[in-house]
Structure 1
Amino acid sequence: MSNAPHFEIDVASFWADPYPALARMRAEAPIAFVPQLGSTIFTRRDDIFVTEKRIDVFSSHQPAGLMNRLMGHNMMRKDGDAHIAERSALFPAVSPRTVKDVWRAQFQAHADRILDELAPQGHADLVKAFALPLSGECLKHITGLTNISYHEMDSWSQAMIDGIANYTGDKAVEDRCHAATAGIDAAIDDMAPVVSKHSNHSMLSVLLASGMAMDSIRANIKLAISGGQNEPRDAIAGCIWALLTHPAEYAKVVAGDASWLAVFEEYARWIAPIGMSPRRVAQPFHYRGVDFEPEDRVFFMFGSANRDEACFTDPDAFDVSRDHAKSIAFGAGPHYCAGAFASRAMVADVALPSVFARLKALRLDEGEPVRIGGWAFRGLLNLPVAWSSAAPN
């Protein structure tokens, strides 16, 4: 175990709002061992930016890690040539060109259909009524699993997310994760012959065409579902909430002084949907007064890095005019999020402009509080809103 100073947290409070504890760690113990998490955590942006690239020391390969045990050995848990090979095989499905030429139009069609049904209602929980189904429908097509419902996509994603963040070893959480991965395997088995016969731009199709081993295909599809559903879902709902609670920032967008992409980038910095990335120490290493030993577990806290006072002015504020050059919401090293282009298109190009254009006089429903939680993965649990449902003249 590393000799980093110990920093105690209250797990429930950390889940509800990790930012006060992370700010104290950045100031008092920027590299600290947290007994409640069984890990040494990095909290400062520049430390993470540098060390995440040291894959010879801080390895993504974690044979005994929760993701490997529960979801299979995917490219996120591989380094070097093994990672590059699988990432390259997947890339044609999520490249900027494919997103622009194929997926963006499908994203817009899904958003329009959902909003056509939603607009006359006048009120809804936009997590359940918009963000969740839009993310799920889009991801069905990107993965190639069009044989499932968006409800299944969301449920399976959440079960895996809960499973790989289950550092306290809750058996019920683990069982739900196993049920989800079994469901995904069955869906892959159903669709593999279809996309093999009728190829398309989906992940399943391009991975099968690449000749990748089936176990790796399964693991990487599960990886795409675990992150590709909850992260856009949480970003869509979170961006809407942020703008509704910061009218001056929304006014910048209306006036043309800030783009929808700037809103997305700022939200991902302010409340990173992916708050943490784990690593395994592969060899003895000394950094900033801390000695690391092989097999130590390290957490790179992206959510803390993106609120580092040394890199961002007034970092706890939501400011769409901010320079995001130092944000590492999508990672910093070779494991930079492969789905970043698709996420930006789904959220900034489609979801945000569409929902604010269609749901007139959009506002929070004051009768129900908005709830938000999580530290490894953080997002809104609900978003009750109301709007004018009157038909246009």
Structure 2
Amino acid sequence: MAAQVHSGPVVSLGSLLSKEGRRDPNPHYAELHRHGPVGRLTDPADRFDIVVHGYDAVHQALRDPALHVMTGEYPDRRDSRRWRAHPALRTLVSSIFFTEGPDHTRVRRLFGQAFSARRIAALEPAVVRIVDRRLDRLAELGADGSPVDVLAEFALPVPSDVVGELLGVPEADRDWFPERVRAFGAILDLGVGVWRFQQAADAAAEDLTGYFADLVAKRRAEPRDDLISELASASSNTGAPVHGQAEGVQLHDDELLANLLTMYNGGFVTTTHLIGNGLTLLLDRPHETERVLADPVRAAGFVQEVLRYEPPTHFSIRWAAADTELAGVPVPRDSRVLVLLGAANRDPARFTDPDGFDPGRDEGQPLSFGAGIHYCLGAVLSKLEGQLALPMLLRRFPKLALAGAPGERTTLMLRGYESVPVTLR
């Protein structure tokens, strides 16, 4: 039976985008849920037309072919081409994160090979080796009992090393990335204030693009057994498409560089916050630490619950390329749609006691990695890193404790702490 169409309640994002809302968005999510799964936004300050927050409605929105990611077509149709002057925005729009249709399918098929079950399984020994090496470094830094920033010295470098290992970024270069990755990612959050970060993001995009262009050229000249070498052989530096090795997939060099940049950035920042958020939850729940250490299956459930309870990504954005409807609410063509993944993960219609932390719950997957054709390519790898890194850290340092408050989280995209000081005792 078709869903009954209705106008939907009028709601506001004002409290979510306030200072308090950014610190803790969950009370705002709870208020949205009291109004149903989809709301209309009429305040120009909200900058969106529709907000989707119920679990089933979010799942529907992420799979609706009428709802597109924010491709370059959207601002072009609104006679706003200013985005083309910004290297960071041009890079994003050239990546699979912001493409649709055949271009998205073609590039995703090629990059998807990097995250195949076979390749991820083969990477597990490297993940263990990387974690062990970073644990040794932590032990050196905290040997005298002084506080150590476990985010900077462990939660950030571990996934950076892992994605570097996967792609083929030399180990000696990996410490160069975090500063530029932070600058590039700052423009992805909600609110007009993010535009003040645009200049730094553009500079970071140019630095990162230049780095990968040089690395691709080196791998073309001297191929190695790594993903960048494979992808370099499936692209053209002449501007013309060539047939790659993966079932005739074609790839332009600008697509290759944009996707290497965004894949590297996205491949470790979200996992950094998964580990950082997960560790603070464990340290606040000693009984849960004991269970995670005793049972690898419990570790997998713990990571999944972290992704539901404190996800590193709280939203996604879509625009309506055609008229559609969500949970019976009309979504007219050209509507700007805010899809609140974090709210869907706290939907009381889907999860029992949604504001409670329960690694033993079996109520379906959280939507932290999205759904549909834009489901996160690195989801399996990110979960694997969390399931390995957190137990290894706590086994190595069973008396690890917070050395101070980890600070506030004030972003909704790439949501995590700036630092997590600990003592190893």
How much does 1:163 deviate? 1.3
Change (3 A) 1:92 1:71: same
Residue 8 of structure 1: how far off its partner (Å): 4.1
Distance, in Å, in 1 between the alignment partners of 2:156 and 2:296 is: 29
Q: Which amino acid aligns with 1:15?
A: R
Other-structure match for 2:54: 44
For residues 1-393 of structure 1, the aligned pairs below 5 Å read: 5-10=10-15, 11=17, 12-32=19-39, 33=41, 35-39=44-48, 40-55=50-65, 57-60=66-69, 62-63=71-72, 64=74, 68-69=89-90, 71-101=92-122, 103-120=123-140, 121=142, 122=145, 123-146=147-170, 149-165=173-189, 167-168=191-192, 170-196=194-220, 197-202=222-227, 204-211=228-235, 212-256=251-295, 258-349=297-388, 351-365=389-403, 367-388=404-425
Cα pair distance change 1:185/1:36, threshold 3 Å: same
Task: Kindly indicate whether the alpha-carbon contact (under 8 Å) linking 1:302 and 1:329 is maintained by their aligned counterparts in 2.
Answer: yes
Deviation for aligned residue 1:347: 1.6
Cα distance in 1 for residues equivalent to 2:374 and 2:424: 40
Query: Counterpart of 1:46 in structure 2: which amino acid?
Result: D
Is the alpha carbon distance of 1:81 and 1:106 closer, same or farther for their aligned partners in structure 2, counting shifts above 3 Å? same
**Corresponding residue for residue 391 of structure 1:** none
Alignment identity in percent?
A: 25
Q: Secondary structure of the residue that 1:316 maps to in structure 2? A: coil
CA distance in 2: counterparts of 1:170 and 1:337, whole angstroms:
24
**Shift of residue 356 of structure 1?**
0.9
Amino acid in the other structure paired with 2:62: E
| Displacement of 1:231 | 0.4
Given that 2:149 and 2:422 are in contact with CA atoms closer than 8 Å, whether structure 1 keeps it comes out as yes
CA distance in 1, matches of 2:363, 2:167: 29
TM-score normalised over the length of structure 1: 0.90
Q: Secondary structure at the match of 2:64?
A: coil
Q: Deviations over 1:119-146 (max 9, x none)?
A: 1414312111211111222222333332
Find the aligned partners of 1:148 and 1:299 in 2 and give their Cα distance.
40
Is contact 1:17-1:374 (8 Å) kept? no
> Helix, strand or coil for the counterpart of 1:373?
coil
Deviation at 1:254? Answer: 3.4
- Structure 1, unmatched stretches of 5+, are 389-393
**In structure 2, what is the Cα distance between the partners aligned to 1:258 and 1:289?**
39
- Aligned residue identity for 2:47: G
Runs of 4+ in 1 over 4 A off after TM superposition: 64-68
* Superposed CA offset, 1:353-392 (max 9, x none): 2211211311222x4454333223311222121122xxxx
CA distance in 2, matches of 1:29, 1:46: 11
Residues 35 and 258 from structure 1, CA distance in 2 versus in 1: closer, same or farther, beyond 3 angstroms?
A: farther
CA offset digits 1:169-228 (Å, max 9, x no partner)? 5443001110111111111122112222223232x3332233310111122112213321
Shift, 1:43, TM fit: 0.6
After superposition, the C-alpha distances for 1:10-58 in whole angstroms (9 at most, x for unaligned) are 3222211111111101112532326444112211100011221112x11
How far apart in 1 are the matches of 2:207 and 2:130?
A: 24
Post-superposition shift, 1:332?
1.8
Q: 1:295 to 1:258 in 2, by over 3 A?
A: same
| Counterpart secondary structure, 2:258 | helix
Question: What do the CA deviations read for 1:105-160 (whole angstroms, capped 9, x no partner)?
Answer: 22222221111121141431211121111122222233333276434322222222
User: Secondary structure, in 3 states, of the residue corresponding to 1:162?
Assistant: helix
Aligned counterparts of 1:338 and 1:141: Cα–Cα separation in 2: 16
Verify the 8 A CA contact 2:156 2:272 in the aligned structure 1. Answer: yes
The count of aligned residue pairs is: 382
Give unmatched runs, 5+ long, in structure 2.
Answer: 1-6, 76-82, 236-250
SS in 1 for 2:203: helix
Asked if structure 2 preserves the Cα contact closer than 8 Å seen for 1:91 and 1:338, the reply is yes
- How far, CA to CA, are the matches of 2:34 and 2:297 in structure 1? 32
Contact 1:153-1:229 within 8 A present in 2 as well: no
Most deviating of 295-304 and 75-84: 75-84
CA RMSD of aligned residues (A): 2.3
The separation in 2 between residues aligned to 1:86 and 1:259, in whole angstroms, is 36
2:375 counterpart SS class = coil
C-alpha displacement of 1:307: 0.8
Q: Distance in 1 between matches of 2:105 and 2:363?
A: 27
Distance 1:71 1:232 in 2: 20
